[in-house]
């Protein structure tokens, strides 16, 4: 073997040098439900949250559906058997309903969010961003709630929305992702805890970014957040979620459901920066991220745009999708998915064209390093009535090193002859020539890899709200530290 | 005066093939050296070994750069220490803007020298200044690194980068190849302007025509991995007239 190849081997092995920055644990007294899942646990979840009867019914119905379902086998993933009776389904800081004022929030929790770069004090917060902070199963603080209310915007934890706006929640919950949609959606519908509720009234443009920050802290627990966003006629909202978890040997389950509804002429931009703990360099620990996200472009000329930067989780299984029901409605999906070490990702989107002149755009950039596997899976479906539907898909994969895999499964189903569907795909390896060029200008190897990968992902990163694009760029570079030879 | 570069009995191979077979060369500040020679003589290999490109193995000899052992340094450390390679085939780097690339490069060098990074405003001013100096068209600066540049534009971009990084030693690897006469003149002028009594240039070329515009102090002829003849500018003219054949004969006789 040549010296160069040996060096490559060595460097690929050195992936261990990558550190997860958010792996700390918050010491705080917690209240847990006992392990396991049954109707009694579900009743307890509903009770502790003071939920009305119809929510309990929704949960129990979902649970009964879930019990009859089997986990999906089709993803390109090596998935260990999950013992759903060995999980804790509810955990919250002790004696803690939602804090009324910031003074009531325990210092440990405030400190946690400070360390994550999300100060919950409004005067210190990022200008122009309202934050809903979810700690394990509960929302601990929502900033700028009052300010937003002046515009008629509702931004609060879903538990509060169920209490304060039951009619709205009842009208839309489970309409885009019904409980029986899939195995993990059914599970979520049975045991969902906090997540955000957003309602933008007719004609209102949200004056700031809305964002949720999800933190898993407790051991042995799953997080099952539920988010529901409704944009009334002619309204606009940009929403962003971020996620992190402590560094642990065990795998933890995160099974969320997100539903978006865009009425006539409304636009929803939904961005995700997913940085759950990915496991260590030997593939031990890390979050299982099994998420169902779907948006409904209900009204004519409505628009839903998904942007995701996925760098975390041991296993990611997620396909943010858009149902283009309204005529002239538009769906967009911009994705960067990076896997390193033993991470696995099977992610992509679905664009379902129902209305006339509907348009969709898919830009997916996969980056695989270490011994990871990265799969793009996407469906473009044109229903019979979708006259003049258009889709363009671009799916690129980049490989770093020679022990990782990139896979692409594009599905196209067209039932209307006027549709135009285009798909382009490329696979590339990070080139030694490019690396050397940057190094010859004085840039060290790791920085050079970060620059090349960020350049590759630029089309997607520019779609993120500005405050988060810088963070995402940093994240991509950090996630690849030591992965190249 | 201390030399910038000292190459002593340098042997290097790619795979099992020995390409450099004992190069000796000393370059002092203020000097311009030209290295000429036929294809396959090892000129580009020499440039790549100097810059530390992976894939080359030095089997014998040493290289001192400003008195330090160059072969112990990583490619980026060599660059930070003031060694610049003008590439024969500059690569495109999609999505990476020229200005970000150069800011990172300039800051890396400053950091190695114990200086603070430049503020964005300060850098932009410096960047524009150098653009003007090297006559690089503004439209190119809005693009990503070398993306959509013509052959001539890529070479001019190399000179522009050299102007920003102000190296002690610039190794220009066939910077003249593939250029029409106007581009050649522009590149030569850029190189000439950047020459100072403190720095040195090592110009690698196959043809004499670049040397019509940049007057070297010394001309070395490489053949089969060795410098077989050194002289003044007149050597380049002789080569242009008589070709490389007579040199090959000298080389044979020496063995």
Q: Per the domain annotation, does A216 fall within a domain?
A: yes
**A437 interaction partners in chain B (CB closer than 8 Å):** 87, 90-91, 93, 145
User: Chain A residue with minimal CA distance to B162?
Assistant: A441
> What is the maximum span of chain B, computed from C-alpha positions, in angstroms?
61
Give the rounded distance of the alpha carbon of A180 from its chain centre: 20
Asked whether the beta carbons of residue B95 and residue A459 sit closer than 8 angstroms, the reply is yes
Q: Which pLDDT value is given to residue A246?
A: 65
Q: Which pLDDT value is given to residue A5?
A: 40
Asked whether the beta carbons of residue B74 and residue A444 sit closer than 8 angstroms, the reply is yes
Asked whether the beta carbons of residue B79 and residue A441 sit closer than 8 angstroms, the reply is yes
For the record, the structure tokens of A393 come out as 């898909």
Show the DSSP H helices in B113-149 as ranges: 120-134, 138-141
User: Chain B residue with minimal CA distance to A5?
Assistant: B55
Q: Residue B249 above 60 pLDDT?
A: yes
Q: Which pLDDT value is given to residue B167?
A: 96
- Residue B89 CA to residue A38 CA, distance in Å, equals 66
Q: Which pLDDT value is given to residue B253?
A: 63
The pLDDT tens digits of the residues spanning A394-450 come to 999 988 888 888 999 999 999 999 999 999 998 888 888 999 999 999 999 888 988
Contact residues for B161 (Cβ-Cβ < 8 A; gap 6+)? A441, B84, B102, B105
> What domain range includes position A15?
3-479
Q: Per the domain annotation, does A362 fall within a domain?
A: yes
Q: Which pLDDT value is given to residue A124?
A: 59
The ipTM of this complex is 0.95
Q: Per the domain annotation, does A336 fall within a domain?
A: yes
HSE toward the beta carbon, residue A356, CA cutoff 13 A: 1
Nearest to A458 among B95, B102, B161 (CB): B95
Whether the model clears a pTM of 0.95, i.e. scores above it, the answer is no
User: Chain A residue with minimal CA distance to B85?
Assistant: A440
Q: Which pLDDT value is given to residue A1?
A: 40
Q: Which pLDDT value is given to residue A245?
A: 66
Q: Which pLDDT value is given to residue B72?
A: 95
Low-confidence ranges of chain A (pLDDT < 50): 1-18, 485
Q: Which pLDDT value is given to residue B92?
A: 92
Q: Which pLDDT value is given to residue A9?
A: 42
Total count of domains within chain B: 1
Q: Per the domain annotation, does A484 fall within a domain?
A: no
Whole-number mean pLDDT of chain B? Answer: 90
Counted across chains A and B, CB pairs separated by less than 8 A come out at: 85
The pLDDT tens digits of the residues spanning B94-152 come to 889 888 899 999 999 999 999 998 888 888 889 989 988 888 887 777 789 999 888 88
Nearest to A455 among B53, B96, B109 (CB): B96
User: Chain B residue with minimal CA distance to A430?
Assistant: B93
Q: Per the domain annotation, does A247 fall within a domain?
A: yes
Mutate which of B95, B164, B165 to disrupt the A interface (most A C-beta within 10 Å)? Answer: B95
Q: Dump the DSSP string for B187-240.
A: HHHHHHHH--SS-EEEEE-SSSGGGGTS--SEEEEEETTEEEEEE-HHHHHHHH
Q: Which pLDDT value is given to residue A75?
A: 85
**B157 interaction partners in chain A (CB closer than 8 Å):** none
DSSP annotation of A117 reads: T
Q: Dump the DSSP string for B26-90.
A: EE-TT-EEEEE--TTSSHHHHHHHHHT-TT-EEEEEEEEETTEEGGGS-HHHHHHTTEEEE-SSP
Give the rounded distance of the alpha carbon of A98 from its chain centre: 24
The pLDDT tens digits of the residues spanning A119-149 come to 666 655 555 667 777 777 667 677 778 888 9
DSSP annotation of A111 reads: H
Residue B67 falls in which region: left (phi positive, over 0), alpha (psi -120 to 50) or beta: left
Nearest to B96 among A4, A436, A451 (CB): A451
Asked whether the beta carbons of residue B75 and residue A440 sit closer than 8 angstroms, the reply is yes
Q: Per the domain annotation, does A130 fall within a domain?
A: yes
Q: Which pLDDT value is given to residue A8?
A: 39
Mean pLDDT of B56-72: 95
Per the CB < 8 A criterion, the answer to whether A33 and A77 are in contact is no
Nearest to B79 among A440, A451, A452 (CB): A440
Q: Residue B220 above 80 pLDDT?
A: yes
Shortest CA gap A369–chain B (Å): 19
Total count of domains within chain A: 1
Q: Which pLDDT value is given to residue A100?
A: 63
Q: Per the domain annotation, does A393 fall within a domain?
A: yes
Asked whether the beta carbons of residue A443 and residue B104 sit closer than 8 angstroms, the reply is yes
Reported as type and span, the H/E element at residue A315 is strand A315-318
Asked whether the beta carbons of residue B108 and residue A443 sit closer than 8 angstroms, the reply is yes
- Residue A439 CA to residue B52 CA, distance in Å, equals 10
Asked whether the beta carbons of residue B95 and residue A455 sit closer than 8 angstroms, the reply is yes
- Residue A370 CA to residue A82 CA, distance in Å, equals 25
């Amino acid at each position: 073997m040549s010296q160069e190849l040996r060096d490559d081997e060595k460097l690929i092995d050195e992936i261990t040098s990558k550190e997860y920055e958010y792996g700390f644990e918050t010491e705080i007294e917690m209240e847990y439900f006992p392990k396991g899942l049954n109707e009694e646990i579900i009743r307890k979840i509903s009770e502790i949250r003071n939920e009305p009867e119809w929510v309990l019914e929704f949960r129990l119905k979902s649970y009964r559906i879930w019990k009859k379902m089997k986990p999906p086998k089709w993803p390109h993933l090596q998935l260990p058997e999950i013992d759903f009776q060995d999980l804790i389904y509810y955990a919250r800081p002790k004696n803690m309903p939602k804090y009324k004022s910031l003074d009531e929030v325990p210092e440990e929790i405030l400190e946690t969010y400070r360390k994550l770069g999300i100060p919950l004090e409004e005067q210190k917060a990022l200008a122009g961003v309202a934050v809903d902070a979810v700690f394990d199963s509960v929302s601990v603080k929502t900033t700028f709630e009052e300010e937003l209310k002046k515009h008629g915007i509702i931004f609060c934890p879903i538990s509060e929305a169920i209490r304060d706006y039951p009619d709205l929640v009842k009208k839309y919950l489970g309409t885009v992702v019904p409980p029986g949609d899939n195995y993990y959606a059914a599970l979520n519908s049975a045991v969902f805890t906090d997540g955000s509720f957003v309602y933008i009234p007719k004609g209102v443009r949200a004056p700031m970014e809305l964002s949720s920050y999800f933190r898993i802290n407790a051991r042995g627990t799953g997080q099952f957040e539920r988010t529901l966003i409704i944009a009334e006629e002619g309204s606009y909202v940009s929403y962003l979620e971020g996620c992190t978890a402590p560094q642990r040997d065990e795998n933890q389950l995160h099974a969320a459901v997100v539903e978006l509804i865009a009425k006539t002429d409304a636009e929803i931009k939904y961005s995700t920066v997913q940085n759950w703990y990915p496991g260590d360099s030997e593939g031990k620990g890390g979050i299982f991220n099994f998420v169902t996200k779907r948006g409904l472009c209900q009204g004519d000329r409505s628009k839903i745009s998904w942007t995701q930067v996925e760098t975390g989780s041991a296993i990611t299984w997620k396909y943010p999708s858009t149902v283009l029901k309204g005529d002239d409605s538009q769906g967009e999906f911009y994705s960067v998915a990076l896997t390193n070490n033993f991470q696995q990702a099977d992610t992509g989107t679905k664009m379902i064209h129902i209305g006339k002149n509907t348009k969709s755009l898919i830009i997916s950039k996969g980056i695989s390093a270490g011994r990871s596997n990265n799969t793009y899976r996407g469906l473009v479906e044109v229903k019979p009535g979708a006259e003049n539907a258009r889709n363009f898909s671009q799916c690129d994969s980049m490989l770093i090193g020679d022990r990782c895999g990139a896979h692409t499964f594009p599905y196209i189903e067209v039932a209307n002859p006027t549709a135009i569907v285009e798909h382009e795909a490329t696979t590339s390896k990070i080139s030694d020539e490019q690396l050397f060029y940057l190094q010859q200008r004085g840039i060290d190897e790791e920085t050079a890899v970060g620059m090349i990968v960020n350049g590759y992902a630029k089309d997607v990163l520019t779609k993120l709200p500005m405050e988060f694009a810088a963070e995402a760029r940093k994240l991509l570079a950090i996630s690849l530290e030591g992965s190249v030879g | 005066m201390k030399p910038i570069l000292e190459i002593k009995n340098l042997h290097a191979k790619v795979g099992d093939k020995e390409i450099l077979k004992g190069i000796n060369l000393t370059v002092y500040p203020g000097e311009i050296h030209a290295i000429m020679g036929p294809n396959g003589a090892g000129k580009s290999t020499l440039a790549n070994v100097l810059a530390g490109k992976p894939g080359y193995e030095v089997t014998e000899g040493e290289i001192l750069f400003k008195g330090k052992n160059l072969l112990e340094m990583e490619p980026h450390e060599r660059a930070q220490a003031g060694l610049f390679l003008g590439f024969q085939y500059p690569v495109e780097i999609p999505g990476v803007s020229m200005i970000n690339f150069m800011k990172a490069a300039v800051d890396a060098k400053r950091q190695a020298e114990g200086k603070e990074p430049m503020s964005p405003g300060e850098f932009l001013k410096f960047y524009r200044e150098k653009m003007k100096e090297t006559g690089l068209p503004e439209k190119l600066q809005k693009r990503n690194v070398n993306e959509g540049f013509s052959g001539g534009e890529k070479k001019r971009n190399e000179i522009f980068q050299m102007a920003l990084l102000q190296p002690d030693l610039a190794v220009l690897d066939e910077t003249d190849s593939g250029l029409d006469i106007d581009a050649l003149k522009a590149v030569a002028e850029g190189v000439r302007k950047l020459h100072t009594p403190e720095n040195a240039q090592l110009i690698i070329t196959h043809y004499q025509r670049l040397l019509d515009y940049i007057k070297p102090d010394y001309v070395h002829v490489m053949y089969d991995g060795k410098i077989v003849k050194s002289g003044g500018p007149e050597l380049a003219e002789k080569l242009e007239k008589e070709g490389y054949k007579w040199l090959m004969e000298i080389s044979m006789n020496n063995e």
